[in-house]
Amino acid sequence: MHIAIIMDGNGRWAEKQGLPRTMGHRAGVLAVEECVRAAANLNVTDLTLYAFSTENWKRPRPEISALFRLFNGYFKNKALELKKEGVFVRFIGRRDRLSKAVLKTMYEVETLTQSGDRLILNIGIDYGGRDEIVRTTNKLIDGVIRRKILPSDIDEDLFFKYTDLGFNRPNPDLIIRTGGDRRLSNFMLWHAAYSEIEFSDTLWPDFTH
């Protein structure tokens, strides 16, 4: 069972309590921790979380920095615990616009946790569905130019393998979006073809039990 989540509503959660938006993201991290724990304990094999979209670069600089500090902190502090729990963390999205420090943390977490076989946790950072489709197309073109792929080999299965999600994992069975908006906002456009979609008005930091 693969569940993918668009974690929306951190900003409004904070504003509702007269707090700065970044406090909403901080509370969002706690909800992420609970969600990962719950997924690992349930019958979920794959969990994909949309943490930062290709469009999120348009946000104010201080908010972007605060978000990346949170990502870095979470993965640095939790890497060993995630490994112990059998969680394999992978990142989906572009890698060419992230800082060296973030890339280093991502590499370390992916390497440390790669033996995890209880839950695959995909984190979307600088991820956009259209961007992924364009990058996948370019990877295939490159393969054809290098004569590793024949144009006639390209079908839906091969295309899927070359997406960020690739390597024989299931498509999301269920996509959840919190925070009240009813749209996909460029999330997993290729993989969402047959997913059930659940919209919740609950703001992400409150999406706990």
Q: Could you tell me the strand order of the sheet in which 46-53 lies?
A: 87-92, 119-127, 46-53, 2-6, 174-177, 196-199
| The only residue of 2, 3, 4, 10 in contact with ligand FPP, by rule CB under 6 A | 10
Find the shortest distance in angstroms from Cβ 179 to ligand FPP.
5
Query: Which residue, 93 or 179, is less far from ligand FPP as judged by CB?
Result: 179
Find the shortest distance in angstroms from Cβ 114 to ligand FPP.
18
**Binding-residue total with ligand FPP (CB under 6 A):** 20
* Spatial separation of the C-alpha atoms in residues 20 and 60, rounded to whole Å: 13
Q: Give the CA distances from residue 135 to residues 18, 54, 150, 176, 182, in Å, rounded to whole numbers and listed in that order.
A: 41, 13, 18, 25, 26
Catalytic annotation present for 46: no
Catalytic one of 10, 43, 46, 56: 56
Structure tokens at 163: 């997406």
Q: Does 187 bind ligand FPP (CB under 6 A)?
A: no
Q: Does 39 bind ligand FPP (CB under 6 A)?
A: no
Catalytic annotation present for 56: yes
Query: Which residue, 61 or 146, is less far from ligand FPP as judged by CB?
Result: 61
3-state secondary structure (DSSP) of residue 111: helix
Please, what's the largest Cα pairwise distance for the chain?
Answer: 58
Q: Which DSSP string do the residues of 112-158 spell out, in sequence order?
A: HHTT--SEEEEEEEEE-HHHHHHHHHHHHHHHHHTTSS-GGG-SHHH
Q: Which stretch binds ligand FPP (CB under 6 A): 49-57, 94-102, 126-134, 158-166?
A: 49-57
Please report, as residue ranges, which positions from 64 to 83 form the binding site for ligand FPP (by CB under 6 A).
Answer: 67, 70-71, 74
Q: Give residues with Cβ within 8 angstroms of 123, minimum separation 6.
A: 48, 49, 51, 71, 89, 90, 91, 92
| The only residue of 28, 93, 116, 128 in contact with ligand FPP, by rule CB under 6 A | 28
Residues that bind ligand FPP (CB under 6 A): 7-12, 25, 28-29, 32, 49, 51, 56, 67, 70-71, 74, 123, 179, 204
Instruction: List, by residue number, the catalytic residues.
Output: 8, 56
